[in-house]
Chains A and B, each alone.
Chain A
Amino acid sequence: MIYGKTIKEIMILVGVSVALALVVNHLSPRGIALVGQWDTAKGVIRPNAPGEDGYRIAEIDRVSDAAKIFYDDDTLFVDARSTEDYESGHIPGAISLPIGQFDEKIESFINQYPPDQPIVTYCSGRTCEDSHHLARLLSDVGFSEVRIFIDGFPGWEAEGYPIGKF
């Protein structure tokens, strides 16, 4: 009898929590989709905004494609990771633009490169979204040729391509 009462009360508490959670998540601008993208084989992991099935910015999802761009084009690689990570190893010739220092550094970046400069952003691979944020910020300030190398530095390193160090 007492167990029945307790179970009923717990179900009420859980029911209220679930209802509140779903309503707040639905109404909040920070809410997330009910099912996210957590499969690294399919791309970068992220919880997704409701109704969002991806970013509009082009992704490079093979290391060999990134390498081709690296060797063939005048594309600028931009490293979204922290300065420390950048200094301990990065794609040769890449510029460091940590996502946290974007506001401080973007002005000199804009002065240095034309808006049609081809850019590839990267960070720490498929469990990291910073390269996507950086790509978005760069296209917001006017860069039109931005792509994202989603395997990032770990993918580059794992396939044995050259590494730049400071």
Chain B
Amino acid sequence: MENFKLSIINNSWIELAARWILGLTFIYASFHKILSPTDFAKIVYGYALFPHVLINLIAIIIPFLELVAGLALILGFYPRSAAITINILLLAFMAALTINIIRGHEFDCGCFSADQNGNSSSSKMTVLRDIFYFLCGLLIILFEGKRRNGFGRIKHE
């Protein structure tokens, strides 16, 4: 049984799939935010968690962190470090969402689109979804075998 678990965790195809899922998700998520930083900055403001001087910097930098880490995951460039970066981001997102759910603060998570549709109906679903992504990240971090490159070839290092 233990071996079976290990063989799933250490299956290089599953690890690659996790990298693609997480990578594509983060690249996609960065897209709207990079295209309209004004809207994303307002969403960051809407979380009501950050000092005012930091709001613009957060809005400028986070999307590129998502993009760069996502690309790195898919390309197999520093994959473990990219997954750690993404999991730290996910923990921060989940903390921000949870704090606002608990204090009943209504807001738009701005996760994928920055067009302020006020679609905040499912902050809880968003947290659940983030947990799934976090597990994908964990799988990539804990993987101990030889990783494949983005197109499935085993790397020779």
Residues of A within 8 A of B (CB): 6, 9-10, 12-14, 16-18, 20-22, 24-25, 28, 30-36, 38-39, 45-48, 127
Min distance, Cβ A133 to any Cβ of chain B, angstroms:
11
* A to B contact number (C-beta, < 8 Å): 86
Contact of B37 among A17, A31, A38, A39 (CB under 8 A): A31
Chain A residues in 8 Å Cβ range of B85: 10, 13-14
Residue of B nearest to A7 (CB): B81
> Is the Cβ of B68 less than 8 Å from the Cβ of A47?
no
| The 9 nearest A-B residue pairs measured at CB | A9-B81, A21-B64, A47-B41, A38-B52, A17-B65, A9-B78, A17-B68, A17-B64, A36-B56
* B140 CB within 8 Å of chain A: no
Contact A13 B52 (CB under 8 A): no
With A13-B68, A31-B37, A39-B52 already in contact, the answer to whether A21 and B78 are too (CB < 8 A) is no
- Cα A43 to Cα B9 with chains together (Å): 54
What is the size category of the interface that chain B forms with chain A? Answer: 20 to 34
> Which of B36, B45, B59, B68 lies in contact with A16, CB distance below 8 A?
B68
B125 within 8 A of A: no
Main secondary structure, interface of B, reads helix
CB contact under 8 A between A17 and B67, given known A12-B78, A47-B38: yes
Question: Could you say which residues of chain B place their CB within 8 Å of the CB of A39?
Answer: 52
Known pairs A22-B60, A24-B34 / 15 extra A-B pairs, C-beta < 8 Å: A13-B65, A13-B85, A14-B85, A20-B64, A25-B60, A28-B37, A30-B37, A34-B56, A34-B60, A36-B41, A36-B45, A47-B37, A47-B42, A47-B59, A127-B45
